[in-house]
Amino acid sequence: MKAAVRTIFERALPGRRTHALVIGVGAYPHCGGQGVTPLAQRVEPLSCAPVTAHKVARWLLEHQRSDTAAPLASMEVLISPYPGRSTAPIEGTVPAAATYDNVIVAFDRWLERCNQDEDSVALFYFCGHGLARDPSQQFLLLEDFHASKNRPFDHAVDYGATWEGMAGCRARTQVFFLDTCREIPEEVLEPTRLYGRALIAPIGKVYERTSAVTVYATAHGYEAFSPPDAPTPFSEAVLDTLGGLGARCKGTLNGPWHVTTDALGDVARVLSFHYPDAPQRSHHEGESSGADVLRELSGPPRVPLRLRFDPGHAIGSANLEVFRTTDRQLMIHWDHRPTPWTGHAEVGHYEVRATFNGAPWRDIGDQILVDTPVQDTCLYVKARP
């Protein structure tokens, strides 16, 4: 018997509010192994996808629910667990599997709520396998992908068509996070056209969207990270950005600080800060005629900070101190360590000092501004004459 598709969270709220749909696909029972088409052989279970979807959903409940700018009003969650495992309940409810039929049920509920008010924020997050024929034709593969070898894409979402169809949704702020690969397998290149299915047809009345932004985990033609049994790096970067690294303030540093749709490009900077040598580069696109507020913070966020030296080996001889400019409080002390200092610091102005106590380098002092989303500062030192 199929599990019922139950709403994970819902409450009535006035004013601007967020409605979320989170999908994670860890099982592909019609793919992998022998006796299937070459395309289906490429699609294997993903242990990271259920973990990622679960974490995104819990983060929204913990942080977005209490937000003062666009609090969470509802959330649909669908998770297909990795084979041999089960899905832990969220708010006392076990999410149903991410089959095409279940996704349609959850999507229609989500869409109905988003249509209630043009001030709604429609938030969509997908983690699972994806295929891309070209930059405009991205497919999201659901649990029952390839259930029919003659119609394998009947259970794949045509994201481009879905995005176009969402112009018929009244919610003026729409954000989509696609935590999926965007590779181009040979089997996908062969046909002149592939036909997935849109979750909403681009028909009927079209509404003005002030923001309709898609944030991809990677650029077209590339894989996305899928660490075993752990949230994806992209999801961590998304949640860090929403959590404050994408925040900006007008006026004093004491706030309020707002995360807006214009800041979603910061996901790429956060991801590359933590994984500087990785080929994965997040990419965002869409339409935006304004900085729509997604979250509000009461004060300045803490920002990832890296302090390094040029030449790099000079840091091993340095006594590094960082003082907050406003009150001269010592914030960082890093003494004769061979690696760059990494940690977090609150947004603001700081004074950096490096002394070398007889080593063949000149002492230096500098002023830096630590600001969102991340701060990577290089201190240039010169040899003593």
Residue pLDDT, tens place only, 299-322: 899 999 999 999 999 999 999 999
Sign of the dihedral defined by the CA atoms of residues 177, 98, 194, 232, in that order: positive
Alpha-carbon distances, residue 252 vs 262, 266, 297, 323, 378 (angstroms): 20, 22, 13, 20, 27
Residue pLDDT, tens place only, 101-149: 999 999 999 999 999 999 999 999 999 999 987 777 899 999 999 998 8
Which domains can be identified in the chain, with CATH numbers?
A: 9-297 (3.40.50.1460), 302-380 (2.60.40.1120)
Please give the structure tokens belonging to residue 95: 């999410």
User: pTM, whole model, 2 decimals?
Assistant: 0.94
Task: Tell me which of 192 and 257 has the higher pLDDT.
Answer: 257
Q: Which amino acid, residue 317? A: S
